[in-house]
Amino acid sequence: MNKIKILLPLLIILTSTFAGWYYFSNINKSQNREKSFSEQRSKVEEDPQTEVSPPSEDTSNDQPKDQYSAKALITFVSGHGDSVVIRTLIEDASSGNCSIKFTKAGQPSVEQTVPLALVNNYYACQGFNVPRTQFSVGGEWSFSIKFSGEGKLAQSETRKVVID
C-alpha cells in the first residue's frame, strides 16, 4: 500500500509531463512549418537574384480562386542542362499529388506527376525533373502546376521557362 502512495503521484506527474511535451512539440512543428513556408515565399518574392520572378497579378485561371483551398508557390525554374527543373511549395496541405503541364503552340504538351513530400519544415512537390528529351523543341514553354489531395486543390499561376 505504501508503494502505491508513492508510485501513483509519480505516474500522474510523468503522464502529465509527457502529455504537455507532446502537445507543445506538435504546436511548434506546425508553427515552424508555417514560418518556413512564409520565409520561402519572402525569399522568392524579394530576392532579385532568384531565377524565379514574382508571381504575376494575372488570376485568369479556368476556375474561380475561392475553389482552391491550398496554395502553390513556384520557387525555382531552370531550363538549362539535361533536365527542366521546377520546384514548388504547397501551403495548407500535407499529402497529395502535384502535376505539371508544359505547353507550346504547335507542339505536343509535356506532363509529369509527383507526390507531395515533407522537405525540412514545409511541404513541396517532390521535384519536377523533366528530361530535356521529352520536349520536341527548345525555346519558350508555358507551364502551370496543379495540386490535389486531402480534398484540397491548388493551382499555380502560368509561368514561362526557356529551354536550351
- pLDDT-derived band at 64 (thresholds 50, 70, 90) equals very low
pLDDT for 128 equals 95
- Please state the rounded mean pLDDT for residues 103-116: 97
The DSSP bridge pattern shows strands 122-125 and 83-91 to be antiparallel
Per-residue cell: 32? 515552424
pLDDT for 121 equals 86
Domain 1-164 class? mainly beta
11-15, 106-110, 140-144, 148-152: lowest mean pLDDT where? 11-15
- pLDDT-derived band at 61 (thresholds 50, 70, 90) equals very low
Q: Where are the domains of the chain?
A: 1-164
How high does pLDDT run on average in the chain?
Answer: 78
Give the whole-number percent of the chain exceeding pLDDT 90: 54
pLDDT for 17 equals 66
pLDDT at 132 over 70: yes
Per-residue cell: 134? 521529352
In degrees and rounded to multiples of 5, residue 160 shows phi and psi of: -125, 150
pTM over 0.75: no
Residue 90, number of CB atoms within 10 A of its CB: 26
Do 129 and 88 form a contact (C-beta atoms < 8 A)?
no
- Please state the rounded mean pLDDT for residues 127-144: 96
Tell me which of 158 and 120 has the higher pLDDT. 158
- pLDDT-derived band at 47 (thresholds 50, 70, 90) equals very low
Per-residue cell: 113? 506527376
Closest C-alpha to 33, from 155, 153, 141, 121: 121
- Please state the rounded mean pLDDT for residues 83-102: 96
pLDDT digits 0-9 by tens, 9-37: 666 776 666 555 566 555 555 455 555 55
